[in-house]
Amino acid sequence: MVNINFTLIAETGLFLVFLWLMYAYVLRPLLKIMDERAAQVAEDEAAAESLESEYQETERGYRLSLAGIHQRAAQRVAEAKREAQARNNEEIHALKAAGAERMSALLKQVREDMRQQRAASDQVVAEIKGTLAEKLGFGKGQS
């Protein structure tokens, strides 16, 4: 049989005091710290999810912005090509007009030179005819 004596009661009391002290000074603060840590983890997870969604929105905005920039750049390049082609065509037309004008002036000069050369050659031929006629005796004295 079990004998209940003062030692058993003292040990049981001391054990209960030990349990109460452990609960009050160890277990309660430990549970409090664990609850705070769990709350902090949940808060950090919510913040991480918020940051992730913010990142996704920022990245989507960046991609849209980048696509717009690429589109504007392509439009500017196409516009610059059209402008360059138009300037090139204008320069070609200007050069053709200048070339045609210069060609016309050169042709006019060549025709004038040819007319002068013809006149000079006609004069030389007339002089040669006159000289030959004199030398051969077809000159003024014989008619």
- pLDDT tens readout for residues 73-119: 999 999 999 999 999 999 999 999 999 999 999 999 999 999 999 99
DSSP type of residue 138: -
- pLDDT tens readout for residues 24-73: 999 999 999 999 999 999 999 999 999 999 999 999 999 999 999 999 99
Nearest-angstrom CA–CA distance, 45 and 112: 98
> Encoding tokens for residue 41?
């983890």
> Cβ neighbours of residue 139 under 8 Å, at least 6 residues apart?
133
Per-residue pLDDT at 2: 64
Answer positive or negative: Cα dihedral of 86, 91, 93, 94.
positive
Asked if 133 contacts 139 with a C-beta cutoff of 8 angstroms, the reply is: yes
Amino acid letter, residue 117: Q
Per-residue pLDDT at 143: 45
Per-residue pLDDT at 8: 85
Asked if 30 contacts 36 with a C-beta cutoff of 8 angstroms, the reply is: no
Nearest-angstrom CA–CA distance, 66 and 101: 51
pTM of the full structure: 0.44
